Amino acid sequence: MYKIVSYNSSLLEDWNKLVSTSPNTSFLFYREFMEYHSDRFKDASLLVYKNDRLIAVFPANIKNNTLYSHQGLTYGGFVVEQSLNATDVEPMINAFLDYLKTTNVQEFHLKGLPGFYHSDISKAIETYINTKATELYRTDKVLAIDYYQPIEIHKTKRKHFRRHQETGFKIEETQDFTMFWENILVPRLNEKHGVKPVHSLKEIMLLKKRFPQQIKQYNILLNKTILAGITIFDKGRIVKSQYGATTETGEQMRALEYLFITLINKYKAEGKSFFSMGTVRDEEHPKGYNEGLLRQKQELGCKEFHQHFYKLKISG
């Protein structure tokens, strides 16, 4: 009844068609996004059929006999067809795990969805996975504004936002990421954290070309000088600030904060459900997360949600 098939390029159209109508869809699950970094990950994605009808896809890569929810994506799991019935969840997962036992996979790592991404069916899937898991090995804090609730931006931030409305800031959406990437994002990440952005300038420009409506760059300028920028990933009912950074001058003028509040208001007016500001995970901090960053995001109106990570031992 249930059949598991390894992905190949001849299945691209079927894969994308299911993703386009899934209740937990995101442009991150389209093959054109997943494959931009195919040189870094050995793809091992799988498709699930029921009576020859495609009912789910699973973005994945494999490394050292471990199957991972695709490590190049922020979140993952099963992307299911719109009409999938809750009664299919258990037999579908069992068939999937039985299939893994016939391969050389020894361990399966599932990266769940942050709470606000869940549909009823994805919740049911993760709940069942939890009963099968060998270990819930990690839980990340993910911060997001819930537009269904009143937005509680800290009074100090609101005061500075009102004051700077007379400063002469100019906010623009741009098709060119170069100024932000080269002048702010790359040098500031290196200076503050000794890291590079996940996406190179070449990669983000390629993805912008492939997904022009989903990936957007907003910069804030004063007297034609860029002070800060935010890169937005628009996932439908949810938008995410993928990157945000500011110059030293912009930091003194709270330019990034001003840009954030402007975009928060913009997406509320457009009827979005959530504005995600991502995780605050940081293994270098004693608590495993950056407390200062957590506070900053909470002061911008974010609430705390959770993303769970599971391990399952596979025995043939």
Residue pair 275/186 in contact (Cβ under 8 Å)? The answer is no
Q: What is the pLDDT of residues 250-297, one digit of tens each?
A: 999 999 999 999 999 999 999 999 999 999 988 777 788 889 999 999
Domains of the chain: 2-140+307-313 (3.40.630.30), 149-272 (3.40.630.30)
- Residue 175 CA to residue 209 CA, distance in Å, equals 9
Pairing relation of β-strands 66-69 and 107-111? Answer: parallel
% of the chain surpassing 70 pLDDT: 100
pLDDT band for position 19 (50/70/90)? very high
Lowest mean pLDDT among 153-162, 189-198, 266-275: 189-198
Mean pLDDT calculated for residue range 49-64: 97
Residue type, 192: K
Mind listing the pLDDT tens digit for each residue in 84-117?
A: 999 999 999 999 999 999 999 999 999 999 999 9
Q: Radius of gyration of the chain from Cα atoms?
A: 21
Q: Where are the alpha helices (DSSP H) in the chain?
A: 12-21, 31-34, 89-101, 120-132, 155-164, 178-180, 186-193, 201-210, 248-252, 255-269, 291-299
Question: Residue 60 burial by CB count (10 A; 0-12/13-18/19+): exposed, middle or buried?
Answer: buried
What would the 3-class secondary structure string for 233-270 be?
EECCCEEEEEEEEECHHHHHCCHHHHHHHHHHHHHHHC
pLDDT given at position 286: 79
Across the chain, what does the average pLDDT equal? 95
pLDDT at 316: 60
- For 186, half-sphere exposure in the C-beta direction (CA atoms, 13 angstrom radius) is 12
**For 167-181, what is the mean pLDDT?**
97
Closest Cα to residue 146, out of 56, 1, 268? Answer: 268
Residue 59 has pLDDT above 80, yes or no: yes
pLDDT of residue 284: 77
With contact defined as beta carbons under 8 Å apart, do 213 and 234 qualify?
yes
Query: What is the mean pLDDT of the segment spanning 221-241?
Result: 97
287, 314, 274: which is closest to 151 by C-alpha? 274
**Residues 67-86: what's their mean pLDDT?**
94
C-alpha separations of 131 from 35, 86, 122, 310 in Å: 32, 16, 15, 10
pTM over 0.85: yes
pLDDT value at residue 153? 97
> Residue 43 carries which DSSP code?
B
Mean pLDDT of 291-310: 96
pLDDT in tens, 130-154: 999 889 999 999 999 999 999 999 9
